[in-house]
Amino acid sequence: MKKKVLILFLLFTAVGFLTAQQRYTLEEGETSKFKMARQLFERGKQLLAGDSYDRAEKAFKDCLEIFPKFSYAGYYLAHLYYQKKDYVTALALVEKAKEDYEFISDYWVKSQLQYLDLLRQEKMELEEKIREIKEIIAAKNYKARTPEEQMAEQKDLEGQQSRAELDAREADERIKNTNPTAPEMAANYYFLHGNILFKLKKYNDAYAQYMEAVRINPDFGNAYNNLANLNFMGKRYKEALFYLEKAEKCGAVVNPKFKKDILLALGD
């Protein structure tokens, strides 16, 4: 594939939150498959970034083979097929990716909540260990008999306390950095879907996808540019100019000839 793939990294808008009171269970076998699939997905992204398209495609396919509802891999795979101009396959893939998005985002939230529970339990155990060590040192309740042995035991306990305090701080930092939120589907899903439909000459359907993309991301310049094109094709010149100017404001690269054509059509 000669043309460099434009990697559209997922931009998430957090919506909703599952509280800690909502309990959940993830089957061990399913969790194992999810982890394997995620590793393949991350590998696929790395390969894609390095222009290894065939290997990236295989990684995404292997990911979906292990975990068929791994929506993110389906999205990237759809993008690869779009670049290969296999629009029918790309359409099926992006539709499946969107269909599975709610499942995978919900699964992600559950796995993160489970991870948070483990981190909190680890932190509690470390804090309990720190408390016990402090009590032993404060009471000088050592197992050793001689002063020299007691001094050595105290140093060992102080070392254990320092390590436990460091581990507790690290666990607390991981807790703070773990964000179990259910993300709204990224605008890029709709943008890619719209591009595929456009290539298949399903213009009304493509229009709807671009509109959804700019609803989610009001600064999506390329989506505005495509809306301008569709409006121009439909001879809705005022709307075409409106969306083209929005594209420009969002920093999208606009064809100056296209803008000139719109202005000529409007009689300006």
Give tens-digit pLDDT for 177-189: 877 765 556 899 9
pTM of the model: 0.69
Residue 104 has pLDDT above 50, yes or no: yes
Residues 167 and 211 occupy one common structural domain: no
Per the domain annotation, does 220 fall within a domain? yes
Report the percentage of the chain scoring pLDDT > 90: 64
Residue 24 has pLDDT above 50, yes or no: no
Per the domain annotation, does 92 fall within a domain? yes
Residue 33 has pLDDT above 60, yes or no: yes
Domain containing residue 254: CATH number = 1.25.40.10
Residues 102 and 21 occupy one common structural domain: yes
Helix, strand, coil shares of the chain as percentages rounded to 5?
75, 5, 25
Q: How confident is the model at residue 20 (pLDDT cuts 50, 70, 90)?
A: very low
Per the domain annotation, does 1 fall within a domain? no
Residues 130 and 143 occupy one common structural domain: yes
Dihedral, 61, 114, 182, 36 alpha carbons, nearest 10? -10
136 touches 154 (CB < 8 A): no
224 touches 190 (CB < 8 A): no
Per the domain annotation, does 240 fall within a domain? yes
Domains in the chain: how many in total?
A: 3
Residues 154 and 173 occupy one common structural domain: yes
Q: Which pLDDT score, from 0 to 100, does residue 1 have?
A: 47
> How far apart are the C-alpha atoms of 240 and 242, rounded to whole Å?
5
Q: How confident is the model at residue 23 (pLDDT cuts 50, 70, 90)?
A: very low
Q: Which pLDDT score, from 0 to 100, does residue 110 have?
A: 80
Per the domain annotation, does 225 fall within a domain? yes
Task: Give pLDDT tens digits for 120-149.
Answer: 999 999 999 999 989 888 887 777 778 888
Per the domain annotation, does 8 fall within a domain? no
Residues 64 and 106 occupy one common structural domain: yes
Residues 142 and 166 occupy one common structural domain: yes
Q: Which of 111, 137, 168 is the last residue of a domain?
A: 111
Per the domain annotation, does 232 fall within a domain? yes
Which domain does 156 fall in, by range?
A: 115-182
